[in-house]
Amino acid sequence: MRDLVSSGHLVRSHFWKWIMTTKNEIDTLKTLAKRYARANRIAQHEALNALATELGFPSWTKLVAKAKQGWLPSADQLAQAKAFIRGSYSGDDGQESFIEKSFARPVDEPVRQGKIGEHAYQVYEHFGDIHMEGEGWRILIGEALFSQPVVEIEKPHATTSPVRKPDFLAAALVIADEEAAKVRAGISSDWPRRATKPDAEGAVLHPLRGDRSSEWYCLHCDGKITGTQLAENLWHCPGCGASPIDIFSEPGWLDGSGMKPKPVVLAQSQKRAEPCIKVVDSRPTLTLNEESISLLLRNALFEDAKTPAERLGAQLAEIYVDDELDVCITLDEELWPESKEPEAAIAVAKLLGVELELEVSGMSFPFAWPDLGHVTTSTPEYVQLLLEAHEEQGVILREIKED
Ligand SMILES: [Zn+2]
């Protein structure tokens, strides 16, 4: 038998490599897409798709699929992606744009803070939305002009929270609305002036694509929208709230469909809906169910397992959790010695308050020479033994899948 230590060294130098670069470069693209989404007030998945399109992929999903096969953006492609993102928000007047200032601000830095009565609050701006927070409550106001405010109260404060009082809520909404108005003004100030000020014919420039028209079409609701309506609503569809990226000067997608765009019906006479108040529970919750119980028990089995065979046994054990959350674990007799009590698993079951039944049955050892799995505690050593045994008395077959 060859020296296990020196052959171990060989394995390390030839077959062991980090794959962190993949993660980092794809992460860079994700960060860029996040900025793009923020600058253009569009959803993250839309930004990911826009960035993927820029790099020649039909969609972000296709890009990720390719990355899983080993594709990485080249330095040139990363530069192209950066230029694409920068082009979407840099002003050319040398002044720092609203969105650049917004990027530069740490996420946990409030744009405003103070007190209403004796209750402290902080206001944060995040991706164009406003979050106003106090102890156990928060108010969320979206970027669209008439978006309904959402008031969340943490469960432990459900009845005692100050936002339950109409006066307090009204005062808080005034503050949150002031900040939301600043954000909307800031974002539109980054756009060409003609995007928010129609000319004499009512034509406006698309803030992202730059084409000019007095009539526009919404990809989502097929609505026909005037330039003036879009300018007033910061380029969100006044009918369905779709974001600027889905507003087009030609309804190309309707060609040949026999459908005609119809003028948008303005949502609820342009008045904001009353705040929606929700009680939420964002405390960490440990849900004990089939999945979590088997995960914890399997983890305990791994702790009990000392040899490679026992670890295989822990991996292949059948863990059955019934409707009452009681558990039956079936272990393979060749992988797990019948005399061996899975102590950690028994202790975990006790802590979780579940009844545990243990069974041993002859399933099937996944590799030849089951005894080898019990002679060492080291997996590399076991694999070494397994390879050598097959080299001498068996066959080693590599199944390589071809695409
Ligand atoms: Zn629409």
Q: What torsion, rounded to 10 degrees, do the Cα atoms 297, 298, 304, 305 define?
A: 170
217 Cα: distance to centroid of ligand 1 (angstroms)? 8
- Burial (CB count <10 Å: 0-12, 13-18, 19+), residue 230: buried
* Tokens coding 70: 């080993």
Q: What is the pLDDT of residues 8-43, one digit of tens each?
A: 344 444 455 555 455 678 888 888 888 777 666 677
**Domain boundary, last residue among 190, 221, 255:** 190
Q: Has residue 117 been placed in a domain?
A: yes
- The tally of domains found in the chain comes to 4
Mean pLDDT, the chain, integer: 86
305 and 274 within one domain: no
257 and 197 within one domain: yes
CA–CA separation, 261 vs 218, rounded Å?
Answer: 9
How does strand 212-213 pair with strand 215-218?
A: unpaired
98 Cα: distance to centroid of ligand 1 (angstroms)? 26
368 Cα: distance to centroid of ligand 1 (angstroms)? 64
390 Cα: distance to centroid of ligand 1 (angstroms)? 66
129 and 209 within one domain: no
Q: Has residue 12 been placed in a domain?
A: no
Q: Which domain holds residue 29?
A: 21-89
How does strand 327-332 pair with strand 318-321?
A: antiparallel
CA–CA separation, 147 vs 127, rounded Å?
Answer: 15
175 Cα: distance to centroid of ligand 1 (angstroms)? 29
43 Cα: distance to centroid of ligand 1 (angstroms)? 15
Q: Has residue 267 been placed in a domain?
A: yes
225 Cα: distance to centroid of ligand 1 (angstroms)? 9
Supply the DSSP string of 14-43, one letter for each residue: HH----HHHHHHHHHHHHHHHHHHHHHT--
330 and 244 within one domain: no
270 and 364 within one domain: no
Q: What is the pLDDT of residues 321-355, one digit of tens each?
A: 999 999 999 999 999 998 899 999 999 999 999 99
Supply the DSSP string of 320-335, one letter for each residue: EE-TTS-EEEEEETTT
Phi, psi of 327 (to 5 degrees): -125, 140
How does strand 223-226 pair with strand 137-141?
A: unpaired
DSSP state of 394: S
Q: What is the pLDDT of residues 359-384, one digit of tens each?
A: 988 877 899 998 999 999 999 999 99
- CB under 8 Å to 320, separation ≥6 — which residues? 327, 328, 329, 330
197 and 179 within one domain: no
Q: Has residue 108 been placed in a domain?
A: yes
299 Cα: distance to centroid of ligand 1 (angstroms)? 50
**Domain boundary, last residue among 89, 119, 146:** 89
Q: Has residue 94 been placed in a domain?
A: no
Q: Has residue 80 been placed in a domain?
A: yes
Radius of gyration of the CA atoms of the chain, in A: 30
Contact 325/354 with Cβ under 8 angstroms?
A: yes
246 Cα: distance to centroid of ligand 1 (angstroms)? 8
301 and 259 within one domain: no
- CB under 8 Å to 57, separation ≥6 — which residues? 63, 66
Q: Has residue 373 been placed in a domain?
A: yes
Question: H-helix or E-strand containing 68?
Answer: helix 60-68
272 Cα: distance to centroid of ligand 1 (angstroms)? 17
**pTM exceeds 0.75:** no
386 and 298 within one domain: yes
Q: What is the pLDDT of residues 197-224, one digit of tens each?
A: 888 899 999 988 889 999 999 999 899 9
276 Cα: distance to centroid of ligand 1 (angstroms)? 23
143 Cα: distance to centroid of ligand 1 (angstroms)? 16
Work out the average pLDDT over 236-253: 87
232 Cα: distance to centroid of ligand 1 (angstroms)? 15
387 and 301 within one domain: yes
Q: Has residue 384 been placed in a domain?
A: yes
* % of the chain exceeding 70 in pLDDT: 89
186 and 121 within one domain: yes
45 and 32 within one domain: yes
**Domain boundary, last residue among 162, 190, 218:** 190
341 Cα: distance to centroid of ligand 1 (angstroms)? 64
239 Cα: distance to centroid of ligand 1 (angstroms)? 5
39 Cα: distance to centroid of ligand 1 (angstroms)? 21
334 Cα: distance to centroid of ligand 1 (angstroms)? 64
260 and 172 within one domain: no
Supply the DSSP string of 129-185, one letter for each residue: EEEEEETTEEEEE-SSTTPPPEEEEEGGGTTT-GGGSHHHHHHHHHHHHHHHHHHHH
55 Cα: distance to centroid of ligand 1 (angstroms)? 28
